Structure 1
Amino acid sequence: MEVYQEAAKLFPWLYPLFIAVVGACVGSFLNVCIYRIPQNESVISPPSHCGCGKPIAWHDNIPVLSWLLLRGRARCCGRPFSFRYPAIELLTALLFLACWLLFPAGKAVAGAVLCAIVICALFIDLDHMIIPDVFTVWGAATGVLLSLLLPSLHGQSHDFFAVASLRSGRDALLGLCVGSAVVLWIALWAEAILKKEAMGFGDVKFLGALGTFVGWKGALFGMFGGAMLGCAWFVAAMLWQKATGRASPVAPPAETPEGQPAELGFGVHVPFGPMLGVAALIYFFGAHRWVDAYFAELSGLF
């Protein structure tokens, strides 16, 4: 511990830099998950390879840096690599760094896992309009387990670890139940009113999984905050489309109730998982101060 403290004093940038590098490396792995998991492919084998089939050498697979040095093209065949690859690596690095700088060690580790789950689910939902069970069902199980092992995730502290662990696990299960129930009932009511499916069951499971990390208050904020973000995104894209006569370059993907690609408009399906995930991260990284205070004031009225 003394060595750690001395190193932190002499080189205050060392540990944050290390965390950012780890985050970028994890982001590189998340790119693999985003591409392969929807296709039911292994994320381990085969190793990273170009679209032409040739394996990518380790020195051409350094997060962010390799994309810049190669100017976004494969060394073997010159194929362009999407800018999204280094963007996800950089995003993961920044979120991991934010966890390190803002939270104690236990909550930072759990927060990094939450960020990884949200990033994968977000981009898979945008690409395929699905959220695989590995990020919902198993994401919820991971959230409950981390809550038991790292009680600081839910702000629990006690002289006896077992007491803090049980309280944290309780908060995680409450977040799971409230998050899933809210989305499920809204989906059922909307389906009854509109006479058609209004929300995928993947969103129900996903908000429940997020609730295990952010608790029931964060789950409620994720639902209604996500709805507000989604409305703002949808309206902005529609206004752009009306003003320019062409689709917005950042418009959400849309499909018909039958699953066919469609132009953005009323009556089509758009992914809701990204909005839920972003809202949950907003709560986790700062909005909890105001949301928790609001619920505390509200409970004081009864």
Structure 2
Amino acid sequence: MTSELQAISEQFPWFFPLWAGIFGACIGSFLNVCIYRIPKNESVVSPPSHCGCGQRIAWYDNLPVLSWFILRGKARCCGRPFSFRYPAIELLTAALFVACWLLFPPGKAVAGAVLCSLVICAHFIDHDHMIIPDAFTIGGAAVGLLLSFLLPALHGQLHELWFIAGMRALLDSVLGLFVGSALVLWIALFAEVILRKEAMGFGDVKYLGALGAFVGWQGAVFGMFGGAMLGCGWFIAAYAWQKITGKKSPVALPAETPEGQPAELGLGVHVPFGPMLGLAALIYFFWAHRWVDPYFFELKLLF
């Protein structure tokens, strides 16, 4: 079976990436449902997709990416506009699935696709509601642990005995879970003492733990500090844009006062940190692990 798949890949190198993209777009359509319904505690299965007017959306009007362009961004039943974010998320998911397939062996590619789906959902829910539901933190951690055991290539564990490789990968996953959550928790506690107010939500603590279950302790450390650097860079750019133009940045994250009221960007306001953590984790997973892991290995040799 493996030789047949390899032969197909050699003869038609576009075949599997194409199907990875199609599958990713379909998953992206489902992620749109999760992003919209889960914060409202609604089922992601029932009722089926429907328009804001209540009319059920036909299957031919619910094709990933294509339907938005065919309908020109408007519902067939009532003409209501649909946000471009729906096909954008489907395209993003498709692109990340293709990248996983092209860059990694099959086992790690499958686990990477799950990680990308987790990050996309958490990113947009945190952006919209400034929360990360337990389905993507506690649930994400459980899935990360399970996939680490079943697909040990996720953590680079290769052994002639699958069980041994799986146990080693599971250990890496557990270590990433605890290092990630503990790192954010202690930073949040110290910041709270210094600032005398809550500096970081507990959802971020659980979320980085879940990411660590996928990317290991090195990825969790990179995710924390890389996310902080991304957050600082975004904040400076968005704040400067706001001051110069008098308008919010077109890619601005929502901001709230400590009391939960909407606020302009500035010192002392809350902005979601989850999107930065997730983006940093994906940067590590796809690229930065090539130089981050050797750095930590060299650092370990010093002690």
TM-score grouping bracket, smaller chain normalisation: over 0.9
Q: Does 1:205 pair with 2:206?
A: yes
- Residue 74 of structure 1 corresponds to 75
- Residue 278 of structure 1 corresponds to 279
Q: Does 1:133 pair with 2:143?
A: no
Structure 2: which 5+ residue stretches go unaligned? none
Q: Does 1:154 pair with 2:133?
A: no
- Residue 109 of structure 1 corresponds to 110
- Residue 263 of structure 1 corresponds to 264
Deviation, structure 1 residue 242: 1.2
Check the 8 A contact 1:211/1:218 in 2, yes or no.
yes
CA distance in structure 2 between the aligned counterparts of 1:66 and 1:295, rounded to whole angstroms: 47
Q: Which residue identity does 1:229 align to in structure 2?
A: L
Check the 8 A contact 1:37/1:43 in 2, yes or no.
yes
- Residue 25 of structure 1 corresponds to 26
What is the DSSP-based 3-state SS (H/G/I as helix, E as strand, rest coil) of the residue aligned with 1:210?
helix
Once the two structures are superposed, what CA deviation does each residue of 1:200-236 show, in whole Å capped at 9, x if it has no partner? 0000000000000000000000000000000011000
Deviation, structure 1 residue 247: 1.5
Equivalent residues, number: 302
CA distance in structure 2 between the aligned counterparts of 1:224 and 1:299, rounded to whole angstroms: 19
Deviation, structure 1 residue 15: 1.2
- Residue 168 of structure 2 corresponds to 167
Deviation, structure 1 residue 159: 1.5
CA distance in structure 2 between the aligned counterparts of 1:160 and 1:51, rounded to whole angstroms: 53
What is the DSSP-based 3-state SS (H/G/I as helix, E as strand, rest coil) of the residue aligned with 1:269?
coil
CA distance in structure 2 between the aligned counterparts of 1:12 and 1:283, rounded to whole angstroms: 27
> How high is the sequence identity, in percent, across the aligned residues?
75
Deviation, structure 1 residue 298: 1.2
- Residue 59 of structure 1 corresponds to 60
Once the two structures are superposed, what CA deviation does each residue of 1:178-203 show, in whole Å capped at 9, x if it has no partner? 00000000000000111100000000
CA distance in structure 1 between the aligned counterparts of 2:249 and 2:10, rounded to whole angstroms: 48
Q: Which residue identity does 1:199 align to in structure 2?
A: M
CA distance in structure 2 between the aligned counterparts of 1:255 and 1:224, rounded to whole angstroms: 23
- Residue 240 of structure 1 corresponds to 241
Once the two structures are superposed, what CA deviation does each residue of 1:95-140 show, in whole Å capped at 9, x if it has no partner? 0000000101110110000000000000000000000000000100
CA distance in structure 2 between the aligned counterparts of 1:287 and 1:107, rounded to whole angstroms: 16
- Residue 50 of structure 2 corresponds to 49
- TM-score with structure 2 length normalisation? 0.98
CA distance in structure 1 between the aligned counterparts of 2:45 and 2:96, rounded to whole angstroms: 24
CA distance in structure 2 between the aligned counterparts of 1:37 and 1:231, rounded to whole angstroms: 29
What is the DSSP-based 3-state SS (H/G/I as helix, E as strand, rest coil) of the residue aligned with 2:55?
coil
Deviation, structure 1 residue 3: 3.3
- Residue 292 of structure 2 corresponds to 291
Deviation, structure 1 residue 7: 2.5
- TM-score with structure 1 length normalisation? 0.99
Structure 1: which 5+ residue stretches go unaligned? none
CA distance in structure 2 between the aligned counterparts of 1:42 and 1:7, rounded to whole angstroms: 39
Deviation, structure 1 residue 83: 0.4
Q: Does 1:120 pair with 2:121?
A: yes
Structure 1's consecutive aligned runs of 4 or more residues displaced over 6 angstroms after TM superposition are none
- Residue 231 of structure 1 corresponds to 232
CA distance in structure 2 between the aligned counterparts of 1:220 and 1:67, rounded to whole angstroms: 39
CA distance in structure 1 between the aligned counterparts of 2:112 and 2:30, rounded to whole angstroms: 17
Check the 8 A contact 1:172/1:211 in 2, yes or no.
yes
What is the DSSP-based 3-state SS (H/G/I as helix, E as strand, rest coil) of the residue aligned with 2:147?
helix
Q: Which residue identity does 1:126 align to in structure 2?
A: H
Check the 8 A contact 1:106/1:150 in 2, yes or no.
yes
Q: Which residue identity does 2:62 align to in structure 1?
A: N
Deviation, structure 1 residue 162: 1.3
CA distance in structure 2 between the aligned counterparts of 1:242 and 1:27, rounded to whole angstroms: 35
- Residue 88 of structure 1 corresponds to 89
CA distance in structure 1 between the aligned counterparts of 2:210 and 2:125, rounded to whole angstroms: 16
Check the 8 A contact 1:28/1:63 in 2, yes or no.
yes
CA distance in structure 2 between the aligned counterparts of 1:96 and 1:156, rounded to whole angstroms: 22
- Residue 39 of structure 1 corresponds to 40
CA distance in structure 2 between the aligned counterparts of 1:232 and 1:80, rounded to whole angstroms: 33
CA distance in structure 1 between the aligned counterparts of 2:159 and 2:7, rounded to whole angstroms: 29
Q: Which residue identity does 1:6 align to in structure 2?
A: A
What is the DSSP-based 3-state SS (H/G/I as helix, E as strand, rest coil) of the residue aligned with 1:12?
coil
Check the 8 A contact 1:143/1:212 in 2, yes or no.
yes
CA distance in structure 1 between the aligned counterparts of 2:144 and 2:6, rounded to whole angstroms: 30
